[in-house]
Amino acid sequence: MNGGWRYRATSVFGVAILTALAVGIANSPTAQAIFASLPVVGALSTDPPSGAEGFLEIATTVVVVTGAFVPLYKPRPRRILDAVVLAQKRVVVALLALSAIGYFDYTYRLPRATLLVITPVLLVTLPAWFVWIRRRPTTDPQRGIIVGDDPAEIERLAGDVDVPLLGYLCPTIAFDRPDSSASQPAIADGGVGGLTRLGGLSRIEDVLVEYDVDTVVLAFEHTDRAEFFGALDACYEHGVDVKVHRNHADQVLTSGDDVGTLVDVDVEPWDVQDYVLKRGFDLAFSTFGLLALSPAILAIAVAIELDDGGSVLYRQERTAVFGETFDVYKFRSMIENAEDETGATISDEDEGGVDPRVTRVGRVLRQTHLDEIPQLWAVLKGDMSVVGPRPERPELDSDIETGVVDWQKRWFVKPGLTGLAQVNDVTGAEPAKKLRYDLQYVKQQSFTFDMKLVIRQVWKVGVDAVGAVFG
């Protein structure tokens, strides 16, 4: 098995080389002479480009095909049939893109005859390449490790793991938790449960590659952001299967037909095509929104400046996928430095009250949702999506986590401008109710479902704007 970056480099290199060879051979004089004698191909045949034009044609084809195969560059375990089907789907996507380019009179377009000839070649060679380099989920011996912060949990789960264990990863010093059991064994450099300690949590990526790990069992007593989600993210990036104790997961994270103490984690519920459609919609929506609303952006900036002379934009840190953070910008709707004394708190307006910190212009911006316009930039960059659980500030996330079980499971999807909770008028003032809606979205998410939520949100914004103006 090729692990991590080696698999990525090998797969990209193979796709690029095989594509370039296919086009180069198809455009060779010998091949062209053979094709010209064939009825169908000969009718479409033209003199293939040469020199700089020929190089541009090959380069364009390589870029398009290599880009179409991006979903397959992650080293996931695949059976032969799965590898063939997935690769052939990617070939079809690439050929459709090349056909679309061919409608325009570009010097680097692929001639129809060449496209027709390389189609069967790529449909055979590229799937064969991914079959050859694929990770074998069943024929190779499986190799597992346990990663966690609690030695008692590590020892308990070791007996339930059905794959050979190479060892475990955990810190060398026990966490100082007020709820820690006095009988809890100390975390030290020695072994736990007869297993060998392979290092601390920071070594997880090195161990996954060095030991060619197939399966990781997460044994965290407290699934906090920095550790549990960091380990999960590392496994996801390296294409390693992840299992957790059933008590620490539900259908949001696991397959519905799992049985037993350990269940498989599924953090990629979307189909690849849905991912492409979702990101394409995000780009189109944010680009169109920023351009169409540019006059409103200028007018709002002037209004805020005239109101109190303070800054136009307000920056906040928000929680993203796997608990990472990013900066989000909004039009400032409160007085300057409103949270310097109170700290990060949920606005009284979210609870139906009146927040004295909100300015005159800010109140209008909030009623019409115009203060959210700068977040379109975060969508354009890819930090956010149009639809998804609304991101909270890290300090508020920490407060909510202590009172709402499973709050962190919102972090398995990219945060959004709107979501199921928002269209149902549920805010962070009701964290338990908001979480139910967010988890429902994670379970039901699809591109079609997203479009329904966007339509509902646009209608809601329109109604609120009319109410603010005429109410």
Residue 226 DSSP label: I
Q: What is the pLDDT of residue 293?
A: 92
**Is pLDDT of 104 > 50?**
yes
Q: What is the pLDDT of residue 383?
A: 87
Name the residue ranges covered by the structural domains of the chain: 4-133, 144-264, 272-470
Apex CA 132: angle with CA 130 and CA 136, to 5°?
A: 90
Helix ranges (H only) for 134-217 are: 151-158, 204-210
Least reliable range by pLDDT among 129-133, 283-287, 338-342: 338-342
Highest mean pLDDT (candidates 21-25, 96-100, 237-241)? 21-25
Q: What is the pLDDT of residue 43?
A: 43
**Is pLDDT of 288 > 90?**
yes
The residue that leads in pLDDT, 189 or 122, is 122
- Taking the CA atoms of 74, 75, 81 and 87 in sequence, report the sign of the dihedral they define: positive
As a whole number, mean pLDDT of residues 36-47 equals 51
| Residue type for position 420 | L
Structure tokens at 26: 């198809």
Q: Which pairs with CB-CB distance under 8 Å and at least 24 residues apart come from 35-38?
A: 35/113, 35/117
Contact present, 397 and 390 (Cβ < 8 Å): no
Name the class of domain 144-264.
Answer: alpha beta
Structure tokens at 361: 């212009």
As a whole number, mean pLDDT of residues 418-445 equals 80
Distance, in Å, from the CA atom of 63 to the CA atom of 66, rounded to the nearest integer, reads: 5
Residue 172 DSSP label: S
286: which residues sit within 8 A by CB, 6+ positions away? 376, 377, 379, 380, 386
Q: What is the pLDDT of residue 410?
A: 62
The percent of residues in the chain predicted with pLDDT above 90, rounded, is 12
Q: What is the pLDDT of residue 41?
A: 47
As a whole number, mean pLDDT of residues 158-178 equals 72
The tens digit of pLDDT for each residue in 404-423 reads 445 555 666 788 899 888 88
As a whole number, mean pLDDT of residues 388-412 equals 63
Q: How far is CA 119 from the centre of its chain?
A: 31
**Is pLDDT of 392 > 80?**
no
Phi, psi of 2 (to 5 degrees): -85, 130
Say what angle helices 4-26 and 29-36 make with each other, to 10 degrees: 60
Q: What is the pLDDT of residue 136?
A: 55
Q: What is the pLDDT of residue 294?
A: 92
Closest by CA position to 184, among listed 223, 161, 142, 154: 154
233: which residues sit within 8 A by CB, 6+ positions away? 322
CB atoms within 10 A of CB 408: 20
As a whole number, mean pLDDT of residues 325-339 equals 82
The residue that leads in pLDDT, 111 or 186, is 111
Q: Assign 299 a pLDDT band (cuts: 50, 70, 90).
A: very high
Least reliable range by pLDDT among 50-64, 337-351, 377-391: 337-351
Q: What is the pLDDT of residue 1?
A: 40
Residue with tokens 């539900």: 250
As a whole number, mean pLDDT of residues 24-34 equals 70
The residue that leads in pLDDT, 27 or 449, is 449
Q: What is the pLDDT of residue 249?
A: 57
Least reliable range by pLDDT among 81-90, 142-151, 181-190: 181-190
Highest mean pLDDT (candidates 76-80, 333-337, 344-348, 408-412)? 333-337
Residue with tokens 């986590």: 401
Q: What is the pLDDT of residue 260?
A: 60
**Is pLDDT of 322 > 90?**
no
pTM for the full model? 0.53
Q: Assign 179 a pLDDT band (cuts: 50, 70, 90).
A: very low
Q: What is the pLDDT of residue 403?
A: 46
Q: Assign 377 a pLDDT band (cuts: 50, 70, 90).
A: very high
Q: Is 264 exposed, middle or buried (0-12, 13-18, 19+ CB in 10 A)?
A: middle
Q: Assign 188 a pLDDT band (cuts: 50, 70, 90).
A: very low
- Taking the CA atoms of 9, 10, 14 and 20 in sequence, report the sign of the dihedral they define: positive
